[in-house]
Structure 1
Amino acid sequence: MRIILLGPPGAGKGTQAKTLAEEIRLPHISTGDLLRKNVSLNTDLGKQAQDYMNKGALVPDELVNQMMIDRISQDDAQAGFILDGYPRNLAQAEILDKALVARGKQIDLVIYLDTSEAVVIQRLSGRLVCKKCGANFHSTNMPPKKTGICDNCGGALYQRSDDTEATIRKRLQVYRNECSPLIKYYQEKGKLQRLVADGEARKVLVDIVGLVRKHHDSLKV
């Protein structure tokens, strides 16, 4: 299965995608991880991306698209994958579909993690991020075992400067404007399933797995 998780900042896409990947044994592919890997490996795409990142600019769609196409072409992604953070806009979705169709494949399921503004603000305002591996923790919902230290790699945790209520509200508005055509695109293709994601992470995962299994059973093998 080829699955996309969509949702606003703070919806828990990364956490859910990672856990779902372990549950159904498919690779979890995130834009952030791809960028970090290409930069750390000093690939041609990574070098180009680093130039933009050093300037504080967004990495262009062209580079992100190519990284993603390269990644989904690898052997471990042939049986399926779970995308997190991609596509972010309609143009990326169309490029992804074109690349998959060229390989005789398609996106099977798009799950939109519908999360209220109040919950997003609560989650993001307490978010802690590892400087080394990018893992996310939360000061109250999911605290690290040792204060200020990442459970995964031992890196230092920090709070992003843009995780303030005012900035979060602005980011949510930007996300809605950008994601609205994307949601409509997958809705019209009959791929989109909405899931309320305000609850505890484990409960949301159970609901996601239920959706995936139900959809998998309906696919023609």
Structure 2
Amino acid sequence: MATLNLVLMGLPGAGKGTQAQMIVDDFDIIHISTGDIFRSAMKNETEMGLKAKAFIDKGELVPDEVTDGIVKERLSKDDIAKGYMLDGYPRNLEQANALETISSELNRDVNAVINIHVDPEILVKRLSGRFICRTCGATYHKLYHMPKVEGTCDVCGGHDFYQRDDDKPETVRNRMDVNMKMNTPLVDFYEEKGLLHTINGDQDIEDVYKEIKSILDKL
């Protein structure tokens, strides 16, 4: 099989984490999450890691060229000879163009972009369904895990529930809007290049993976 170099895309809550693990297990490629490589570069005090840390310590956003540099450092390593899957990068068109240059220089071009698509309204319901018992901290979900008796905690019998600010529908919707604004140009960019494969993420986990696997098997 040719080397498999992927970009994984999808809105928050679309199930990227679950699918990423299944892809890595099956195809023996390295999962490169931007959060992980940032932490690793800063911990190992690489040139780009130190640059990133200087911005983060000041509470500033890390500029694209530093993020690109950290990705380039990671893609230069020998452990990705069989392939890689980028998750969380690129996040905008500047980074997508930089990735083209980097991967071409390293002779590790991206050969597929997997975009897990779920209707944003469904995602808002998924992500804003969590609520918590104020008395004992037991967690419930409006779609997947309601208390056995409505309004009464299964664990402690309390009746006082709350939602964290992060889980409130308006916060989740706002996060979704921000992500959609970032994702849409990338989807168009990769579609024009003939690399985009959009997967229906609103199915059982196994069915989503079956669809992804059939695409990757052909590459």
User: TM-score interval w.r.t. the shorter chain?
Assistant: 0.7 to 0.9
- Residue deviations 1:177-215, cap 9 Å, x none? 22222111111111111111122323322221121112x
Q: Which amino acid aligns with 2:49?
A: G
| CA displacement at 1:40 relative to structure 2 | 2.8
Aligned length: 190
Cα distance, 1:71 vs structure 2: 0.7
Cα distance change, pair 163–34 in 1 and its aligned pair in 2 (3 A): farther
Q: Is the 8 A contact 1:11 1:113 kept in 2?
A: yes
Q: State the alpha-carbon separation in 2 of the partners of residues 59 and 123 from structure 1.
A: 30
Alignment of 1:1-221 (within 5 A): 1-125=4-128, 161-214=165-218, 216=219
SS of residue paired to 1:193: strand
**Would the aligned equivalents of 2:7 and 2:86 in 1 still touch at CA under 8 Å?**
yes
Which whole-Å CA distance do the structure 1 matches of 2:25 and 2:64 have between them? Answer: 28
Is contact 2:165–2:171 with CA below 8 Å preserved after alignment? no
Instruction: Give the drift of 1:160.
Output: 7.7
Unaligned runs of 5+ in 1: 128-137, 143-158, 217-221
Percent identical: 37
Larger Rg: 2
Q: Helix, strand or coil: the match of 1:162?
A: helix
Say which SS state the counterpart of residue 8 (structure 2) adopts.
Answer: strand
Contact 1:26–1:77 at 8 Å: present in 2 too? yes
Distance 2:183 2:121 in 1: 19
Q: Distance between the aligned counterparts of 1:37 and 1:105, measured in 2?
A: 21
State the distance in 2 between where 1:139 and 1:30 align. 29
Structure 1 length-normalised TM:
0.76
Q: CA RMSD in A?
A: 2.5
What amino acid maps onto 1:199 in structure 2?
Q
Please state how far the C-alpha of 1:171 moved relative to its aligned partner. Answer: 1.7
Classify 1:21/1:184 alpha carbon distance in 2 versus 1 (closer, same or farther; 3 Å): same
| C-alpha displacement of 1:106 | 1.7
- The two structures have a TM-score, normalised by structure 2, of 0.76
Contact 2:28 2:82 in 1 (8 A): no
Residue pair 1:72, 1:78 contacting (<8 A) in 2 also = no
In the TM superposition, what whole-angstrom CA distance separates every residue of 1:130-158 from its partner, at most 9, and x where no partner exists? xxxxxxxx96669xxxxxxxxxxxxxxxx
